[in-house]
Amino acid sequence: MLRTNNTVVICVPPPAAGAPCHNEGMVEPDALFDLDPPATQRDSFAALAELPLSDLVSPGWAQALADVEPQLRDVLTFLGTEADAGHHILPSPSNVLRAFAQPFDQVRVLIVGQDPYPTPGHAVGLSFAVAGGTRPIPRSLANIYRELDADLGIPPRVHGDLSAWAGQGVLLLNKVLSVRAGAAGSHRRKGWEAITTAAITALAQRTTADGSPAPLVAVLWGKDAESVRPLLGATPIVSSAHPSPLSASRGFFGSKPFSAVNRLLVEQGAAEVTWELPALP
């Protein structure tokens, strides 16, 4: 097998060492992602605790989270201890701080979640999202799509990749950023709350060049998300019951959150979010 640019050329039979490949008909494009990415220091939670804050999060977030950097290192060290003890921690080290890879100053919508999905293969570091190939999608996300359809007429997707929202400045932030596999809520009160409290507070306190508040709309679904309301100051809030199957029928369905968010963004002079996701991830 030879690699040229972004193409894998498979030679059958394999040529002798150094010989050219003459079987030009067998060509396959590179995979869109590596199923087994090479090991790096990011593959270890303990190693993350040793990296500079500027290597862990984007520059704006590094400044916003500077005061809680010691607490962040403590919780990453805790995750390393958990992993060393044999616990399966979700999401992976490369995704645990994924929400803070987004540019801080470009966030215009905050959607607050609880903690990551505890099902292996589901958590990807963004609240409510899963990897594009995950089937079936979680029921909470299916209910979000159902309400999106009812609100804006956007047909539900079969995938749960919400990165198109994140790319438009929608911050999908869980209050707690990790969990033991199969044990929902297992990493609450382990230190993440201090980090996400600082993050939400910093977002709400942003200002533009003329000193006015930077455009931001917060989406709070359920009592757990409602607990951050005091951090948001004058930030416009869209709130309802949680989209979980246990509560969606008690106020989430019919709440029309997506059109409400866009209306509040326009009132602040910001562009609307394009909520329609690609048909395929």
What b/e sequence results for 72-92 when a residue is b if at least 16 CB atoms lie within 10 Å of its CB, and e otherwise? bbbbbbbbbebeeeebebbbe
At 166, is the secondary structure helix, strand, or coil? helix
- Is 115 assigned a catalytic role? yes
DSSP 95: T
Q: Which of 67, 115, 151, 224 is catalytic?
A: 115
Structure tokens at 168: 């438009």
What's the Cα-to-Cα distance from 156 to each of 85, 122, 150, 151, 280, rounded to whole Å? 40, 18, 10, 12, 11
DSSP 41: G
CB count, 10 Å around CB of 275? 18
**In the chain, what is the straight-line distance between the N-terminal and C-terminal CA atoms, in Å?**
28
User: How far is it, in rounded angstroms, from Cα 274 to Cα 222?
Assistant: 24
What's the Cα-to-Cα distance from 116 to each of 67, 89, 122, 146, rounded to whole Å? 24, 10, 8, 21
- C-beta separation of 101 from 42 below 8 A: no
User: How far is it, in rounded angstroms, from Cα 53 to Cα 100?
Assistant: 11
Q: Just list the catalytic residues.
A: 115
